[in-house]
A and B are shown apart, each in its own frame.
Chain A
Amino acid sequence: MSAPSAALPRWVDLAVLPALNLFLALAVTALLVLLTGGDPVVALRALVVGSFGSADAIGYTLYYATNMAFTGLAVAVAFQAGLFNIGAEGQAYIGGLGVALVALNLEGLPAPLLVPLAIAGGALFGAAWGAIPGWLQARRGSHIVITTIMFNFLAASLMVHLVVNVLIAPGSMSPESRSFADAASLPSLSFLGFAASTPLNLALVLALLAALGVWLLIWRTPWGYGLRVAGQSPDVARYAGIDEGRVIIAAMALSGALAAGVAVNELLGAQHKLLLSFTGGYGFTGIAVALMGRNHPLGVLLAALLFGALTQGGAEMAFEVPDVPSEIVVLIQGLVILFTGALGLMLRPALMRLLVPARA
């Protein structure tokens, strides 16, 4: 396999290509808005104002971005190990089970004990739900992509059963657990000057710490080096005595634990109870975030901010501009995945022609 990326200057690879891909995705979307009789300029302005135009908007943008940072990191860690984890959605969902079980069963504990335990419970459950497909790939030869797809649906079935039949609040008609104790909630970030009316909470800081932790672990430890070697060249890893199977299982466990951060942000930070479908597709957005962020923690954080802004701005835009629904943001996400992932090679030759001869 040739590596054409080696010839492109680093800044082009890391900044220009993602920007161009995002521009293409937005251009296609703008064209669609135009074709359906809308005004793309008005829509875009509503999107920007809706995402950053007020203290409330910024709070919500960061709140959504927190979820996306967690799933983006989850997908990126797996990518670094050469694995495509489509299962972040299910891992986050099962992570929510871990969070809720701790929060509901140990509610007598004081907050400084209960919150970390609930987070640990979520991480543990998410890690397990990620490690099983990892184990199946490493030891039984199943394909991680198909297995994680199936595990998303298994998680959904399991959670519907548990929430509707087991964990439902007694006497309640809606499928949700009873509320967690007050001690089991993450503090709002209003003490940092963010709007108290938004669900933004300490999980944002946890996401930033998680990104730092991932960077240290993957780029600054021998274990992380082994993970990247196994991801880039399994043959070299085997020759160097790295147990590829163990790397796969550990990487998927770490990925699942990171995905469970969505449950921490949503359940401990905002909803304060377990409810159905709280993962809301963030696991899939994580794919776009990781691809756009070039599977690097810093890139993932920036991409998460972008997609958080798109989600919040999209919701506001749907109010401001009738006929342009908030679902258009899903379209932008899909297009970004398409342009950065599958069609990412399209722009490379053109950029090479443009840049490399000029430098030679």
Chain B
Amino acid sequence: MTEALDILLPILAATLRLATPLLLAALAGLFSERAGIVDVGLEGKMLVGAFAAAAAAAVTGEVMLGLLAAVAASCGLGLVHAFGCITLRGSQVVSGMAINIIASGLTATLALAWFGLGGQTPPLSAAARFLPLSMPGAEILAGIPVLGRLYASLVGGQTALVYLALLLVPVSAFVLARTRFGLRLRAAGEHPAAVDTAGVSVTRLRYAGVLIASVLCGVAGAYVATAQGAGFQRDMIAGRGYIALAAMILGGWQPGRILLTCLLFGALDAAAIRLQGVVLPGIGAFPVQAIQALPYLLTVVLLAGFMGRALPPKASGQPYVKER
């Protein structure tokens, strides 16, 4: 029992840690696409978020200032995306790709210009990072065999942003399904003309969707640089933004299912790390790449309609032209 727990607990805890940035970014994509704006720029916004968080935290020594800087930087890029897609009605996919490439070049350039260090930020001290929180009562429960350890290292022992991300799942579900703002936001993504007819501004709703997405991407980036890692490295988001996009699609544009998908992807990632270099009898080295490719493969299969049906918001990707 203890042995199984020794193996399982670190994997479960790692699953939660690895799923968190995916969850934040997937919820970001959810708000943007529900408002009708396709966001392939999650990756880029996370990257500038990660850089801004690490840079601000390194300079000020304050982790919260890092988070704030991450959100501000991500919103800056988000506004460019919104201006191009909503105001100018340009191509949303082209704009998103531009943002990813700009983010990659911009962060590498600024990191070298500001810090030297070959494109990294200085390593962060403890005060400039999000540290694991210990849950109240962990000492009392520590005596109980299985539950005590589960409580200490799975329920507790995570950084504040992990809890925030998990909390955002029901909050997003509530906002999108039960509030006036959420219903209007979804209408802007399904049938913008109807929103317009009701006298509500589609433009404003779509800007709001993109900005919410930017805030969440900023938090996700800050998590990667100041909670998971301890500083910025070049292109450190490493495709998480695209996996989040996949999670959003596989999650059917619904918060609850997105959470499950992100946990699955997190578990795959944790398993891949764990199985790295493991030699299977008769097969040889474990093909870790097969596990890493699974999220992308699942997304392709789902989109092709071989497994359920992907139903994106009807008007997502289409610029809205107000009738005159």
Contact of A335 among B40, B102, B292, B296 (CB under 8 A): B102
Contact, CB under 8 Å: A84 / B113: no
- Among A149-157, A210-218, A247-255, the one that faces the other chain is A149-157
Contact of A327 among B84, B92, B104, B249 (CB under 8 A): B104
Chain B residues with CB under 8 Å of A41's CB are none
Chain A contact-residue range equals 35 or more
Asked if B177 lies at the interface with its beta carbon under 8 angstroms from chain A, I say no
Contact, CB under 8 Å: A341 / B95: yes
Min distance, Cβ B220 to any Cβ of chain A, angstroms? 18
Asked if A131 lies at the interface with its beta carbon under 8 angstroms from chain B, I say no
Asked if B119 lies at the interface with its beta carbon under 8 angstroms from chain A, I say yes
If A154-B297, A342-B95 touch, whether A328 touches B239 (CB-CB below 8 Å) is: no
Contact, CB under 8 Å: B304 / A153: no
User: Could you tell me which residues of chain A, from 102 to 159, have a CB within 8 Å of some CB in chain B?
Assistant: 136, 140-143, 145-147, 149-151, 153-154, 157-158
Contact of B91 among A141, A332, A341 (CB under 8 A): A341
Chain B residues with CB under 8 Å of A141's CB are 304-305
- Among A91-99, A169-177, A229-237, A343-351, the one that faces the other chain is A343-351
User: Could you tell me which residues of chain A, from 36 to 94, have a CB within 8 Å of some CB in chain B?
Assistant: 36-38, 84, 86
Contact of B98 among A145, A150, A160, A341 (CB under 8 A): A341
A249 to B310, CA, bound (A): 21
Chain A residues with CB under 8 Å of B98's CB are 334-335, 337-338, 341-342
Chain B contact-residue range equals 35 or more
If A140-B304, A343-B84 touch, whether A86 touches B97 (CB-CB below 8 Å) is: yes
Contact, CB under 8 Å: A325 / B112: yes
Contact, CB under 8 Å: A154 / B293: yes
Closest residue of chain A to B80, judged by CB?
Answer: A338
Contact, CB under 8 Å: B300 / A136: yes
Contact, CB under 8 Å: A323 / B242: no
Chain B residues with CB under 8 Å of A149's CB are 40, 242, 245
If A146-B249, A342-B98 touch, whether A331 touches B105 (CB-CB below 8 Å) is: yes
- 14 additional A-B pairs beyond A287-B97, A332-B105, beta carbons within 8 Å, are A136-B300, A141-B304, A153-B242, A157-B293, A165-B285, A323-B112, A325-B113, A325-B119, A327-B109, A342-B84, A342-B91, A342-B98, A343-B84, A346-B88
